[in-house]
A and B are shown apart, each in its own frame.
Chain A
Amino acid sequence: MPDSKVLGQNYPRVDAADKVSGRSQYASDVYLPGMLMCKVLKSPKPHARILHIDTSRAQGRPGVRAIITGRDVPDARFGNGAVKDKRLFALDKVRYIGEPVAAVAAVDEITALEALDLIDVTYEDLPAVTDPIAALRPDAPLVHEDLPSYEGYKPSMRGNICTVLDADRGDVDAAFAQADHVFEDTFRSQGINQGYLEAMACVANVDPSGRINVWTSTQAPYQIRATLAAVIDRPMSRIRIIPMELGGGFGAKLRLCVEAYPVLLALHTGKPVKLIATREETFTLSGFRLPTIVYLKTGVRNDGTIVAREAISIFDMGAHLGAGVQSGVSHTLGPYNIPNYRMRSYAVYTNKIWAGSYRASGVADVTFAVESHTDIIARRLGLDPWEFRKLNAFNEGDLALQGGKIPRNGLHETMDAVKQHLGWPRTSKAGTGVGLAMCQWRSGSGPSTASVSLLEDGTVSLLTGSVDISGTDTVFAQITAETLGVDMNDVVIARRDTDLAPFTGPSGGSRIIYSQGKAVQMAAADARDKLIALAAEHLDVQPGMLTCADGRVYMTETPERGYTLGQLARMSLTSASGPIMGTAALSAMPFAPIFSTQAAEVSVDKETGKVRVVRFVQAQDVGVAINPMAVEGQIDGGAVQGIGRAITEEVVIKDGQILNPSLTTYLMPMAADVPSIENILVQVPTDDGPFGARAVAEPPGFGPPAAIANAIEDAVGVRIKELPLSAEKILRALHGEAPASTELDHDLLQQLRGSSGPE
């Protein structure tokens, strides 16, 4: 950490005072005169042909201003993934319960809801397939019959398979044959809702000139602009996305979701139209994570060295391809150096709502499998779970899956830190146990832009297109202040929309500080260099003789000679090069892995099967913590999301119907359910991130399910391989029932092993 007044300081968030005062504006807080309210009619059927839609009764309801269906909008497909397999409204058939069929604009919400009841849709039921393994069978109903006609179609897409990924190294079969021990386990995760507190909300208004203004809750204003332009068939320049304060997203708000409905209705009516999703609609109108099945086979030598891994993953995508399948080939080795592997990852269509993104989609599911399996192996071999991991963990210079070599990182430091903090190995009291899990993620990359302007009094304005998640604006202000040598209070973060700020990547995937923050640092450095050049010209000295710090540019040897930034900003107005403005743009950043080690201590009530997390410790390599309080806050939250994923959260879906789309029955952790998270920030700087920072957001949520499953086995000797680790499953296992488990039959496994998948 360089000596700094700004870096490493716990600055409160720049928006905190507004937020604690209830003055921050979220999309649902936008009220425009004459505004109509929008509601969406959704399919009650998992799979059915639409024979007829009659909106006449609804049209006749007083207060209804417009109704649109798939026949009233441009015939355009879009996608959440590589293939365009999705429409705004179901056209000829519905593929899942919840698929939008029509949308209504009315004078108020109640009238709009009443109008939905008056829309008559005649369906003809089709056989539905809702289980991903059943969807792989040759006789399974097809969710999409005409895949080859879709843009983005690939020949590997067959039947209900929408993606096949593979990765191979070495001679995996020979390595298994030579291994002293071979272990096989299959794991299954559950449906998980992202649980953002602010449901989707959007207001659209069309200017008489044709300009479309969209106030929305999004992580990705530019990506939404592009998709919206395509589906409503207007140029991007006609659309202005105004990202409002984001009340949580965690991936759910990375893509076009509800925005098109109020936009289309605003175009139809000429009036502002608002949509606020209900809590139920955060389950039925926006995708969440669906279950993932992971089969792992591992060959180990007597000394504990892992020599081979086979990993076959099946991701349930619901009716439309989304994120996650990549983690079947990027994360099924764990943070271990395994020389021979065969990885296959399948994304499969089913008649359920499309799989949405959530905090490194799929990686938490896969990490549950890998880190449970790791513990099972260590226990069977009589090895200490920490030592077994330590022996196999990546070292700097090992081959990276992403290509190239593993760069300098803090993986081993995180392991050592947790060992020391916990006093590992420990003997647990009866009914209590400790479990470990290791997590890894790449630091997110992608296009990033920033510009920094010097104001005439020497204060600074920073403009980026990035939506603030978890305090990123505050860290941008710190990066700018540090680079220009000004006070934090002298940096303002400009309010932005897609008209004002140039294109940038979305706020997600742990990319903001590492990549967007780098662009901010470069833009501030550009401004600083221009300030120094201007001062050098006026002082008639070489730029290298000058320092920019403490709000001034001055001669390093004779600090009294120089100018304040305000003086320079004013001088620049009449200089040859004009006002001081620093800009930067980049498209990608180098691979900089993040590792963390987590440990859970649990107590298990043998009477009820209930698990309580008594302590949760995590050590994460954050590179450099520019704002430790913000980093801790973010990894606290991630860990608690992971604890929910481990123990209580499950979207229960039966025959395509979501049974618990409510916070009464979808159980996220409350304050009394969790301990204060114990954090250790390991700081091994990156070469390229701003001031050495790494990304932070994703790993904390990966480890808890496995760490807790491992702790449960340590506590009561029961191994659960299906999430969540509910009291019911544990109690049944304690009573001697074999825990429910998913087994892939031999023939299916054999087919999935081939790189072309089942016939």
Chain B
Amino acid sequence: MPHSLSLTINGESYTLQVEPYCSLLDMLRDQLQLTGTKKGCDEGDCGACTVLMNGKTVTSCMVLALDARDQEITTVEGLRQDNTLHPVQAAFVQYGGVQCGFCTPGLIMSGVGLLLENPQPTEEEVRFAIGGNLCRCTGYSKVVQAILKAAETMQAQASTA
């Protein structure tokens, strides 16, 4: 029996009817066709479905849609501002953090979430922060490099703003 749910996704408010067993991930993908968020395992192990809920990273397959009531969700589709890539996205492009791309949205959300909390992370902190995101293509080196470079870019932007 579907229940009514109101929440904010990428700055826009939605009211939806969802089944009680529906995960936030399935709601994003199947109901809203926000398919940038990926389903890699559906059991909280791979991190491909990582989104921000009120600025904190969560694996959206492990969150019931109804538990996101009145929350603010940011998905990878919500990172671009004014048709410009977020610095973490731009760094993934420039430094080769992307290969097959399936884990990429989740890794980027984990990187964005980290930099919200810790704008100047060490390499070890980056590796720990993305420790819930599996990637089979890159071996992580260039992903870590991209997040560290994005941190520098965001610092520079903050100091000139």
Contacts and interface: CB of A to CB of B under 8 A. Distances in A.
Contact of B40 (A197, A632, A664): A197
Nearest to A675: B141
A681 to B, nearest CB: 14
Interface stretch (A8-16, A441-449, A556-564): A8-16
Interface in B85-104: 85, 89-90, 92-96, 98-104
A671 B101 contact: no
B99 A633 contact: yes
A58 B87 CA distance: 52
A588 interface: no
Contacts of A18: 101
A24 B104 CA distance: 11
Contact of B93 (A17, A630, A641, A677): A17
Contacts of A268: none
Nearest to A195: B136
Contacts of A195: 134, 136
Main secondary structure of the interface of A (DSSP, over half): loop
A247 B101 contact: yes
Interface in A261-303: 276, 278-279
User: Which size class do B's interface residues fall under?
Assistant: 35 or more
Given A199-B40, A248-B102, A20 B134 contact: no
A198 B46 contact: no
Contact of B142 (A633, A638, A663): A633
A671 B127 contact: yes
A17 B45 CA distance: 26
B93 A671 contact: no
A176 B136 CA distance: 43
A12 B138 contact: no
Contact of B35 (A12, A22, A194, A670): A22
A278 B95 CA distance: 32
Given A21-B80, A663-B41, A31 B139 contact: no
A89 interface: no
A198 B93 contact: no
A230 B35 CA distance: 33
A25 B99 CA distance: 14
Of A13, A19, A469, the most chain B CB neighbours within 10 A belong to A19
A625 to B, nearest CB: 13
A22 B144 contact: no
B128 A19 contact: no
B126 to A, nearest CB: 8
A627 B37 CA distance: 29
Contact of A20 (B38, B92, B131): B92
5 contacts: A198-B38, A247-B101, A248-B100, A637-B135, A671-B127
Per CB-CB distance, the 6 closest pairs between chain A and chain B, nearest first, are: A22-B36, A247-B102, A19-B101, A640-B139, A636-B139, A663-B45
Given A28-B39, A248-B102, A639-B139, 8 more contacts: A22-B35, A199-B40, A632-B141, A668-B136, A671-B140, A672-B131, A674-B140, A677-B141
